[in-house]
Structure 1
Amino acid sequence: MSSHVPNNKLENKGMYKDTINIALAGNPNVGKSVIFNQLTGLSQTIGNWPGKTVERMEGHLDFLGYRFNIVDLPGIYSLSTYSLEEIVSREYIVSDDVDVIINVVDATNLERNLFFTFQLLELKVPLIIAINQMDILRRRNMEIDFKALE
């Protein structure tokens, strides 16, 4: 996992409060719901078909005196989109409600996923990039140059 969170953005977005709102965003079928379930302890249904998550799901994690409200968003390829699922995601991502975005990307299809990542970076919201499905990448004897991504 790599992150891009400028210190001044943390202060500007009010990160030092008791509740932090986190959006789990990324292309369809990259593992957002799996991460959501791990963080919240909930049992969001996981499926490997387009449009599986069609509305946002919310849960929370309490840790070190902070409440992290975590929102699992439908898969989205671009901020300039018109499908119902992607509109739900876009509207939440660009709202003032989001303190941090965790952009879940598929290690096996990095180029396609990073198109959306670059759009998220332009929003100037603190962003954490979670590279998922590394086990599949390794089985294919492939690697990611993490230094190049920084």
Structure 2
Amino acid sequence: MTTTIRIALAGNPNTGKSTLFNALTGENQHVGNWPGKTVAQKRGWFIYQGVRFEVLDLPGTYSLSAYSPDEQVARDYIVREQPHVVVNVLDATNLERNLYLTAQIMETGAQLLLVLNMQDLAARRGYKVDAEKLAHLLGGVPVVTTAAAREEGLDALREALYQMAQHLSPLPDLFSGESREDNHAQGAIFGPHCH
């Protein structure tokens, strides 16, 4: 049986999130609409080290406040569907604006991995983001740097996702369709050790 890890890509518009989605999933994707919405839904997958990662490209949003259909879809998926990992894609050239959404995602308790995308553009503009320091300031949240348009940093991202998947609790129970609360009650361990 192949293990499947559900990944949600979340981020502000124009952070390169969809470019990252395409780089990770290649031709293995499906585009449709969210049930009852006119908002597009993009799903894809890739396999790394024998683990199948199902990737969902959430609509670009600045906030998880439900003011627009895009924000509602992103919030509902992160909070209700509880993906195994939320990959928050940030524009390394405009970090401050992007961190508001990061803080909101952290408040949901989701397993979080940050991707500092457009690192190449940031460097050309003279910006240097210290990924290790950012990870430390955010309580140990893993941080990976990428330039998705140039497909740089993708191997490091896949490896970080794989490492996070190794720390998720008993995988057969994880995919039975039960909620995290039900799994936790049965002794599964979800928590900050994955950060």
**TM-score, structure 1 length as denominator?**
0.76
Aligned residue identity for 2:110: V
Structure scoring higher RCO (CA < 8 A, sep ≥ 6) equals: 1
> 1:126 aligned to 107, 111, 115, which one?
111
- Give the letter for the 1:100 counterpart: V
Counterpart for residue 32 of structure 1: 17
Percent identity between the aligned chains? 50
Once superposed, what is the RMSD of the aligned Cα atoms? 1.8
1:32-111 correspondence runs (5 A): 32-42=17-27, 54-111=39-96
Partner of 2:129: 144
Cα contact 2:7–2:86 (8 A) shared by 1: yes
- Secondary structure (helix, strand or coil) at the match of 1:108 reads coil
SS of equivalent residue, structure 2 residue 93: helix
Q: Name the structure with the higher helix share.
A: 2
C-alpha change, 1:107 and 1:71, in structure 2 (3 Å) is same
Shift of 1:146: 2.9
Q: CA deviation at 1:23?
A: 0.1
**Deviation readout 1:123-149 (Å, 9 max, x if unpaired):** 121111000011111111121133431
Q: Hey, what's the Cα distance between the residues in 2 that align with 1:42 and 1:130?
A: 22
* SS of match in other structure, 2:109: coil
The residue that corresponds to 2:35 in the other structure is none
Amino acid at match of 2:117: N
* Corresponding position of 2:98: 113
Q: Which runs of 5+ in 1 are unaligned?
A: 1-16, 45-53
For 1:87-136, what per-residue CA distance to the aligned partner results, in whole angstroms no more than 9, with x for missing partners?
11111111234110000000111001001101111112111100001111
Spell out structure 1 runs of 4+ moving beyond 6 A. Answer: none
* Amino acid across the alignment from 1:38: A
* Structure 1 position 84, deviation (Å): 1.4
Segments of structure 2 that go 5 or more residues without pairing to the other structure are 30-38, 137-195
Which residue identity does 1:20 align to in structure 2? I
Aligned ranges 1:10-29 → 2 under 5 Å: 18-29=3-14
Which structure has the larger Rg over C-alpha atoms?
2
Alpha-carbon contact 1:55-1:85 (below 8 Å) kept: no
